[in-house]
């Protein structure tokens, strides 16, 4: 799968829109997508992350919350695969800047939307 130009979506990102979108799609998107999005969201707030990496994160999160993307989110099953691909791509680039506290915070937030069995899905995610 070729990634779209997700950086063109940077102007679509806002913290309020991000929280709203994640809350709306959490169950349909699955724990892996939500976990990746939350890690990027919390990493964006870190002062230890470079401006370049923050720009990548904003582009990825903007792509995720935009209603206009390569595969429309409304399409069952595959609608969110492009969003996950973009999030994982950026997460791999910034993984070295992700502190354990951010991972814990993201996991804690997952518990508001998912049960323990669903949260276990993230244990096999490799970056």
Collect the ranges in the chain with pLDDT lower than 70. Answer: 1-4, 69-78
The string of DSSP codes covering 43-95 is HHT-TTS-HHHHHHHHHHHHHHH-S-SSS-TTSTTTTTHHHHHHHHHHHHHHG
pLDDT digits (tens, 9 = 90+) for 96-114: 889 999 999 999 999 988 9
Two structure tokens written together for 53: 């990496």
Whole-prediction pTM: 0.80
Distance, CA of 95 to CA of 9 (rounded, Å):
21
What pLDDT does 77 receive?
A: 61
Structure confidence at residue 21 (pLDDT): 84
Predicted local distance difference test score (pLDDT) of residue 57: 95
């Amino acid at each position: 799968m070729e990634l779209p130009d997700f950086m063109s979506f940077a102007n679509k990102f806002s913290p309020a829109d991000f929280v709203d979108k994640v809350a709306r799609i959490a169950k349909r998107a699955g724990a892996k997508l939500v976990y990746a999005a939350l890690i990027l969201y919390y990493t964006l707030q870190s002062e230890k992350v470079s401006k370049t990496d923050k720009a990548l994160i904003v582009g990825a999160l903007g792509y995720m919350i935009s209603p206009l993307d390569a595969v429309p989110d409304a399409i069952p099953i595959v609608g969110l695969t492009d969003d996950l691909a973009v999030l994982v791509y950026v997460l791999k680039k910034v993984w070295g800047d992700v502190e354990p506290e951010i991972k814990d915070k993201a996991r804690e937030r997952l518990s508001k939307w998912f049960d323990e069995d669903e949260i276990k899905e993230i244990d096999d995610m490799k970056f």
